Amino acid sequence: MNTGETHLVEAARRGEREAYGALVERHWCRLVRLARSVVGDLEAEDVVQDSLVVAWRRLPQLADADHFGAWTTRIVVRRCLRRAGFLRRFLTFDSVPERSHAPDPADGIAVWEVLSRLAPRQRAVLHLTVVEGMTDAEIAVRLGITAGSVRAHRRRARERVAVIVKGGTK
């Protein structure tokens, strides 16, 4: 992290709302993109906003100001996983209509339709890998899991995506 951001974190810890607002502006787009990958467009901004309120309240607990980005990412991912679990009670995979025919490559692929059929943690791992370009070790820190678990979630997600894109229902 740059020293300017470290100073903002320290100022926010002292209760300076403007400093925290500047931190939110720096990280907002990245966190919303991540949340969209996990919970979809309709829920993403709400989850990030809720997460950043939690982060503001817990800011004194942040051990190292240099880890603010990773720390807020972890909070967002955990809240996304909770929200996805909550939403799953209302929308089951069986209620999502299956294609009645094999997909035509000319139709294109509805990315969110495919991603919505993955487990939320698999969506988070794919997002952090593909969109954010993070390494397994970086993703492990962000999600609070091991690098081996990151690789397993990514492998399962890719296998599932391959089946979905080919028109399967597995």
Q: What is the pLDDT of residues 154-169, one digit of tens each?
A: 999 989 888 888 876 5
pLDDT at position 4 is 79
pLDDT at 96 > cutoff 50: no
With 0.85 as the threshold, say if the pTM is over it.
Answer: no
Q: What is the pLDDT of residues 105-154, one digit of tens each?
A: 545 566 777 778 888 889 889 888 888 888 999 999 888 889 999 999 99
The ranges assigned to domains in the chain are: 3-165
Tell me which CATH code domain 3-165 carries. 1.20.140.160
Q: What angle do CA 76, 78, 81 make, to 5 degrees?
A: 105
Using pLDDT thresholds of 50, 70 and 90, give the confidence band for residue 97.
very low
The CA distance from 149 to 132, in Å, is: 18
Q: What is the pLDDT of residues 21-76, one digit of tens each?
A: 999 999 999 999 999 988 888 889 999 999 999 999 999 999 999 999 999 999 99
**Which DSSP string do the residues of 82-117 spell out, in sequence order?**
HHHHHHHTTS-GGGSPPPSSPPPGGG---HHHHHTT
pLDDT at position 170 is 55
Q: Which two tokens stand for residue 28?
A: 């907002």
**Which DSSP string do the residues of 128-161 spell out, in sequence order?**
IIIIS---HHHHHHHHTS-HHHHHHHHHHHHHHH
The CA distance from 132 to 125, in Å, is: 10
Using pLDDT thresholds of 50, 70 and 90, give the confidence band for residue 100.
very low
